[in-house]
Structure 1
């Protein structure tokens, strides 16, 4: 990663945005441009929708392509929330400096070992996503109209800063739904699903469009390109086997789709951190289909709101709010291995009624799917009763937690009796997120092997690399999509104005 600051496009200034708004104001006639000259957004998750929203605000024509039958990507499944600091919703004072420090700590050895220009670029990416985090939350809450008033503390965070709805839909579905509804009413927006991009087109040094396949026909679109096509944690037989063969037998929360980073490599993009694949500690093991290769995620919010993890002997064994990689390692060291071709372990996720009530929409879904069951402590046995009572005493401040947990969410249980209600589910580590991808900078421009920006090409979301390093904090996936998706949209709009309308 050797970015050359003097050659890279900088973040759009307010003046540039104002010029675009003035030239395409609501009182002006719609832009007249050939239908093949539009900004092309690849991927309909939050990163792609954020980019498309910014573009259409500036009356720039957008065509959004997605290979899936329905839009939303993995973003629509996100259930723990979106990080932001500081915001008016937070119960405890926070700032972007503490968030920056937590993100650097989470990035681990990858960040610590970076030097020179690579180190500076990683610092700028983290600074951008943390500094712009409150703006992203306010954009979604105040402009898009998504309820993000409930705030929880997830693993690896020093403060409660992960926002979601107090009641109603999980955050991913709420955000994606609201953005899609608004875009579908916009005359500058077109969505094409079941459209798989197969090639990025380049003329000399500039990206000028894409080829894609739909209904067994190859089509060509011309224009600047924003890639927001996601990661490759579901590409177990392909990119996971290539970069991390030791993880190829793990189940995943992602559908089995190939990664798209190679399409960008073909036009000169450089990749980084490709071996850094996050194994989320808690994916549900459905008793009706325990060998399923694709699992439902047991959202980190379940632990953030007070849930605990138990071994088969009924004992706690880890601070449930440690970083994801730490909790995963603890499970794989201590939990019982399940039989079968998949690499799975068995741990129990336990919530009391207070934690469950704080996760109403999540719990209704998990109970309906049979992934969590409502039971009593008496049915779970004396060892679980003892562990839950010890934890309840810790929450009540009667003793310190030997495992180091200091935040307990909405656990309210103080006296554990055999007839006391409990909620339990079986969980195992699962492939969840890929930290690696194409190198990009804080303006969302994709960089080549020399650190130069590739004209006409931007990227945002999980397709990129260099931001998270060794581990991603819960709640930062939706955040990076909103922050860098909007940056990419603004930058692509300015590029379109200069290179397409002016000519």
Structure 2
């Protein structure tokens, strides 16, 4: 029988569950993993603890920072355990986009960008995930995203750009951007709140196990493994999983979704692997939607990096940016959600594709300094005419010029008969230069599956019961986004559910 690295098949869990529960009574830790998995060895519960905290948070991204900050507000001892040498995980290199129907700055109203509501955001999110997402969890996300955004502004000093974008899959202009233009703007705000409340950090400290005696018992702590040295940390109140997804775990990706082949680039940092999901399964946690893995359609084609220029094609379609293939032809509704755009790119059979925009769009989706920096790095290509831009991108000038002219006509008539893109009066015709292009191609970006949680962010086991003292939030959870996560929903998801987890863990 082949070695199952992830070891988290439901059949294996159920087959070994009774035996593991029986030996747990004799002093062994609970372990329901398949006997053929790498983590299947018997483990003895700690006889003593190296350190004790009230709440242990695993992971230092958006979700972990928010959870730790809220758990520490009442004076509890809280530690964030992070396996990487730097804090922030994927969050610190995130694109910096945050969806909220409103904000304390009233940007939508001041920019005259139409109507929106929490209910409309909920509807878009449900539809964007093909209705696989849990409506109650989505409602928590959309109802609380504004409060979470304002909390980071008020308590953490977060600063927002005075722009608002309509991005793929959304029916309103609701995507906010921090002044830094990357996720670091939010993580720094959250870190300030957490440190102000006394949260401690343990970096370079991978968690290697979750301690639980049996399916009737609570989670009592974690094991860490720092270069072979095992240490046990006790949690008096709770452990919060905020360890992120598994986009960098190629074996795990292939096991649950064979179409996500190893040849795909990945936007994530190297620590985005799935071991915490296996450890959670070992103590009975149910998982869901692990096959739902997202490609980001606008990554740098050769490396898969999500740099500052790679966010422009995400922000721009709401203001008139278009995507074209290597021949200069449109191939998709530019305001479609990420999975649709990624499939359309791949179906062109030509790598890469390009996004095309002009100078007038830049202040609506970014800054001139960012674009100038991107030009110096060769990420953006600039030209004085559409025909010159086509030549620089290796296209036939008459084809790209014809594509742009036709799209400009569609904007004026308010209808896109080719691809059905919803046209708004905020979209700018690509008529006045300079003109810009940027190459793009799909890369693995986000895993929508993870452990099952309830509205209190408590982790649910395979028997449908709450696992006492174990909470989860952020990308380590499943059931919120469904088959596809709408861009800009990751940060509010992590911060909203992180706050809920922290508050409940502290009770």
User: Is the TM value for this pair above 0.5?
Assistant: yes
Report if aligned partners of 2:164, 2:174 keep a CA contact under 8 Å in 1.
yes
Question: Shift in Å at residue 451 of structure 1?
Answer: 1.8
Report if aligned partners of 1:152, 1:409 keep a CA contact under 8 Å in 2.
no
Question: Shift in Å at residue 171 of structure 1?
Answer: 4.8
Cα distance between partner residues in 2 of 1:293 and 1:153: 24
Query: Which residue does the alignment assign to 2:117?
Result: 95
Question: Shift in Å at residue 181 of structure 1?
Answer: 3.2
Question: Shift in Å at residue 280 of structure 1?
Answer: 1.8
Task: Pick one of 38, 58, 67 that aligns with 2:74.
Answer: 58
Cα distance between partner residues in 2 of 1:409 and 1:75: 33
Q: Secondary structure at the match of 2:484?
A: coil
Task: Pick one of 341, 351, 357 that aligns with 1:327.
Answer: 341
Cα distance between partner residues in 2 of 1:409 and 1:429: 29
Query: Which residue does the alignment assign to 2:192?
Result: 181
Question: Shift in Å at residue 242 of structure 1?
Answer: 1.2
Question: Shift in Å at residue 226 of structure 1?
Answer: 0.6
Task: Pick one of 220, 223, 227 that aligns with 1:208.
Answer: 220
Question: Shift in Å at residue 439 of structure 1?
Answer: 0.5
Query: Which residue does the alignment assign to 1:306?
Result: 320
Query: Which residue does the alignment assign to 1:140?
Result: 152
Does 1:199 pair with 2:209?
yes
Query: Which residue does the alignment assign to 1:348?
Result: 354
Q: Secondary structure at the match of 2:219?
A: strand
Which runs of 5 or more residues in structure 1 are unaligned?
2-33, 112-121, 337-344, 495-503
Question: Shift in Å at residue 213 of structure 1?
Answer: 1.7
Query: Which residue does the alignment assign to 1:18?
Result: none
Cα distance between partner residues in 2 of 1:386 and 1:233: 39
Query: Which residue does the alignment assign to 2:28?
Result: none
TM-score, scaled to structure 2: 0.80
Question: Shift in Å at residue 44 of structure 1?
Answer: 0.7
Aligned residue runs from structure 1 range 468-479, under 5 A: 468-479=481-492
> Residue deviations 1:102-150, cap 9 Å, x none?
1111121635xxxxxxxxxx12111111111221222223332222342
Cα distance between partner residues in 2 of 1:378 and 1:233: 39
Task: Pick one of 245, 249, 252 that aligns with 1:235.
Answer: 249
Question: Shift in Å at residue 434 of structure 1?
Answer: 0.5
Does 1:108 pair with 2:130?
yes
Q: Measured at CA, do residues 55 and 399 of structure 1 come closer, stay the same or move farther in structure 2, by a change above 3 Å?
A: closer
> Residue deviations 1:73-123, cap 9 Å, x none?
111122251111244322322111111111111121635xxxxxxxxxx12
Does 1:37 pair with 2:47?
no
Report if aligned partners of 1:353, 1:413 keep a CA contact under 8 Å in 2.
no
Cα distance between partner residues in 2 of 1:125 and 1:274: 17
Q: Secondary structure at the match of 2:356?
A: strand
Cα distance between partner residues in 2 of 1:110 and 1:399: 31
Cα distance between partner residues in 1 of 2:53 and 2:334: 50
Question: Shift in Å at residue 375 of structure 1?
Answer: 2.7
Cα distance between partner residues in 2 of 1:234 and 1:47: 19
Q: Secondary structure at the match of 2:455?
A: coil
Report if aligned partners of 1:79, 1:172 keep a CA contact under 8 Å in 2.
yes
TM-score, scaled to structure 1: 0.81
> How many residues of Structure 1 are paired with residues of Structure 2 in the alignment?
432
Q: Measured at CA, do residues 414 and 255 of structure 1 come closer, stay the same or move farther in structure 2, by a change above 3 Å?
A: closer
Q: Secondary structure at the match of 1:155?
A: coil
Aligned residue runs from structure 1 range 55-454, under 5 A: 55-87=71-103, 88-90=106-108, 91-108=113-130, 110-111=132-133, 122-148=134-160, 149-165=162-178, 168-186=179-197, 188-204=198-214, 205-223=217-235, 224-236=238-250, 238-248=251-261, 249-257=263-271, 258-259=273-274, 260-285=276-301, 290=302, 292=303, 296=307, 298-299=310-311, 300-336=314-350, 345-358=351-364, 359-360=366-367, 362-376=370-384, 377-379=386-388, 380=390, 381-397=397-413, 400-407=416-423, 412-413=428-429, 415=431, 420-454=433-467
> Residue deviations 1:277-334, cap 9 Å, x none?
111222112xxxx3x3656482222434432110111111211111111111211212
Report if aligned partners of 2:165, 2:316 keep a CA contact under 8 Å in 1.
no
Question: Shift in Å at residue 398 of structure 1?
Answer: 6.6
Question: Shift in Å at residue 255 of structure 1?
Answer: 3.1
Cα distance between partner residues in 1 of 2:414 and 2:213: 68
Report if aligned partners of 2:295, 2:445 keep a CA contact under 8 Å in 1.
yes
RMSD: 2.3
Query: Which residue does the alignment assign to 1:484?
Result: 497
Report if aligned partners of 1:80, 1:474 keep a CA contact under 8 Å in 2.
no
> Residue deviations 1:447-484, cap 9 Å, x none?
10122111111000001001111110111100100110
Question: Shift in Å at residue 191 of structure 1?
Answer: 0.9
Q: Secondary structure at the match of 1:132?
A: helix
Report if aligned partners of 2:358, 2:430 keep a CA contact under 8 Å in 1.
no
Q: Measured at CA, do residues 94 and 461 of structure 1 come closer, stay the same or move farther in structure 2, by a change above 3 Å?
A: same
Q: Measured at CA, do residues 49 and 383 of structure 1 come closer, stay the same or move farther in structure 2, by a change above 3 Å?
A: same
